[in-house]
Structure 1
């Protein structure tokens, strides 16, 4: 009997999931646990694994189409088995678009290059589109680009990010203040600790790890920043659930480290790396991207110094970290080289004013400039 593969529910609030790419075609055999498709919903992208060994009998949901959780997206069974559907889908009456025959490698190449598969001409057996067909089409597409405007549909993740950013700007009173921290001592301490951290814990400490720890300590000292504004009430949290923004190829995810105040520096560094990796691989669970009380975002890798982070609603604060740079500084009337780290704090002016927000940012700066306080 054919096995149904359904759109999973990735969280209580999920209303729709989109098939971003099929890795298999009708008639191809699959092994149990083998990836057959990628789906995305809101800020989560994940692989769908085959629940059984067999043959792809029918694909019900084409790439780019969104469907509710629980909808059958394909059937797997024996080679010549007839599919008996339990329930017809609401959009079954729509004419089914003829599916292009294309090899998995060619499909991935076309998707990476944003090539419309329907415009490709296949020269393989039975009109199958091959890798060579995609390579042949790329120069032609570049020529057309000069005279044409491309219209690319926005995926579910991009739509969600756009909606949340507009909501954030329209429903909060955001103000950004900046400071510069002299992290010369911190970079020296980082280098001293890394040899032991790698040897003993198999973990390399980054500047982001130290900043995250400084943020956690500062939130405990300034609890007003660890809060949110909701329906005319300010809710302040005892625990720090730290969101760490992670850039993805097709958007942004903010995994959340729950009860971050309980973690040592090494434990925090491991958590940041683990969640960052899960975000890039599309393996974050719904519960791992909700409940943050403060967010940290770092654009230092892109050469950005100060910038204006947008609040992650309903949080009252977000810290942006810029790129470190060396500059001459005075220490006890002596001019020497120093390493500067730009910091940008955006806060909700409905929750707190400039003075307490500045005090919070000054505490972060103090921890970074006297990094021994981060370890004790």
Structure 2
């Protein structure tokens, strides 16, 4: 008996899921646990695994089509079910052709010209297809071929148009909403993280051996941001219906770049975590995002967001607020440069920081004070451990 594969419910608030791409076609065999399709809902994308071994008998939901959770998207069963159905269709088709009324001369002419008899219209007695009907159809077929050739050439010369998937549409909508409904301003500064990189190297051997976790610069920046939010709670807030809501707890969003978009998993109550616990959470959610395994509830409720473009060689940039948050901190690429320390010129490591904030919530001075506190924690990195 055929097995139903249904659209899963990725979270309590999910109303619709979209099939991004089918990895299998009707008639292909699949193993249990093998990926057969990718589906998405808002910013979540995940793989659908086959619940059984067998053959794809029928695909009910096409690529790009959205359906409610629980909807059957395909059937999997024994291969002979599909073969039998195909045979039955072939027999019916053959019988239909045989019942078509056509003169022997007309049949011979149609077969020689590779004309499908079912497409011919008979004008003879009782709808019988005559020689004249075949002769009339030949130029029409040539005209159709020429038109199809022109359309194909035209298509090849046209610009490629790729449909936008659900995730891209959601990102586009949220970014436009962010820019249109908030007063965004970006300020930047540079932190001397020479001591931080030295501390990172000293701690990593112990962190890997004891906790199986490698500490990254992003982990330290995240910890510095959390400590700074506790010192400057105005940044840990949002503007909603004419009221500024300030939060006691820090629910930190960590932007994660994906092949086909962006996800922002949220670390709840980040202020309660040690540096090691924070690093483990960042890596866990980053991996789940890349594998498309984030749950809907794991991308909700952030109060402040961190985004890092350092891996792409970007220094300063303008992050866009993740609505309705009042702030987002951008991290650029580290670079070495000569710096003065006590009148002595030496090599230093610089980390660019970019802070975008909602000017409706706070002004430039308190926003700058927050960013300066982040810089202070990074330049005195021992504070992130205490």
Asked if 1 retains the 8 angstrom alpha-carbon contact of 2:275 and 2:385, the reply is yes
Structure 1: how far apart are the matches of 2:355 and 2:323? 15
1:63, CA displacement in angstroms?
2.2
Asked if 2 retains the 8 angstrom alpha-carbon contact of 1:246 and 1:252, the reply is yes
1:202 aligns with 2:216: no
1:6, CA displacement in angstroms?
1.4
Task: Out of 228-237 and 157-166, give the one that drifted further.
Answer: 228-237
Asked if 1 retains the 8 angstrom alpha-carbon contact of 2:14 and 2:296, the reply is no
- Structure 2 residues without counterparts, runs of 5 or longer: 142-151
Distance 1:236 1:180, change over 3 A: same
Distance 1:95 1:6, change over 3 A: farther
C-alpha distance after superposition, 1:269-294 (max 9, x if no partner): 11111111111111111111111110
Aligned residues: 376
Distance 1:213 1:333, change over 3 A: same
C-alpha distance after superposition, 1:37-60 (max 9, x if no partner): 111121111011222333322111
1:75, CA displacement in angstroms?
1.2
Structure 2: how far apart are the matches of 1:249 and 1:267? 27
Structure 1: how far apart are the matches of 2:56 and 2:103? 15
Structure 1: how far apart are the matches of 2:266 and 2:221? 16
Asked if 2 retains the 8 angstrom alpha-carbon contact of 1:75 and 1:83, the reply is no
Structure 1: how far apart are the matches of 2:102 and 2:339? 60
Structure 2: how far apart are the matches of 1:146 and 1:47? 32
Task: Out of 206-215 and 28-37, give the one that drifted further.
Answer: 28-37
C-alpha distance after superposition, 1:125-174 (max 9, x if no partner): 99999999999999999999995411111111100000000000001111
Larger Rg over CA atoms: 2
Distance 1:87 1:275, change over 3 A: farther
C-alpha distance after superposition, 1:312-363 (max 9, x if no partner): 0010100000111111111111111111111110111111111111111010
1:223, CA displacement in angstroms?
0.9
Task: Out of 51-60 and 246-255, give the one that drifted further.
Answer: 51-60
C-alpha distance after superposition, 1:73-106 (max 9, x if no partner): 1012333448999999999999999999999999
1:303, CA displacement in angstroms?
0.8
Secondary structure of the corresponding residue to residue 97 of structure 1: helix
Distance 1:134 1:264, change over 3 A: farther
User: Which structure has more helix as a fraction of its residues?
Assistant: 2
Structure 2: how far apart are the matches of 1:109 and 1:193? 85
Structure 2: how far apart are the matches of 1:255 and 1:306? 23
Secondary structure of the corresponding residue to residue 89 of structure 1: helix
Distance 1:162 1:25, change over 3 A: same
- Cα RMSD of the aligned pairs, angstroms, is 12.1
Structure 1: how far apart are the matches of 2:209 and 2:132? 47
Asked if 1 retains the 8 angstrom alpha-carbon contact of 2:330 and 2:353, the reply is yes
- What aligned pairs does 1:185-196 form with structure 2 within 5 A after superposition? 185-196=195-206
- Structure 1 residues without counterparts, runs of 5 or longer: none
Asked if 2 retains the 8 angstrom alpha-carbon contact of 1:101 and 1:129, the reply is yes
Which residue of structure 2 lines up, in the alignment, with residue 103 of structure 1? 103
1:9, CA displacement in angstroms?
2.3
TM-score after normalising by structure 1:
0.81
1:241, CA displacement in angstroms?
0.7
1:7, CA displacement in angstroms?
1.4
1:65, CA displacement in angstroms?
2.4
Asked if 1 retains the 8 angstrom alpha-carbon contact of 2:189 and 2:354, the reply is yes
TM-score after normalising by structure 2:
0.79
- What aligned pairs does 1:267-346 form with structure 2 within 5 A after superposition? 267-346=277-356
Secondary structure of the corresponding residue to residue 21 of structure 1: strand
Structure 1: how far apart are the matches of 2:88 and 2:67? 13
Task: Out of 136-145 and 319-328, give the one that drifted further.
Answer: 136-145
Structure 1: how far apart are the matches of 2:177 and 2:221? 28
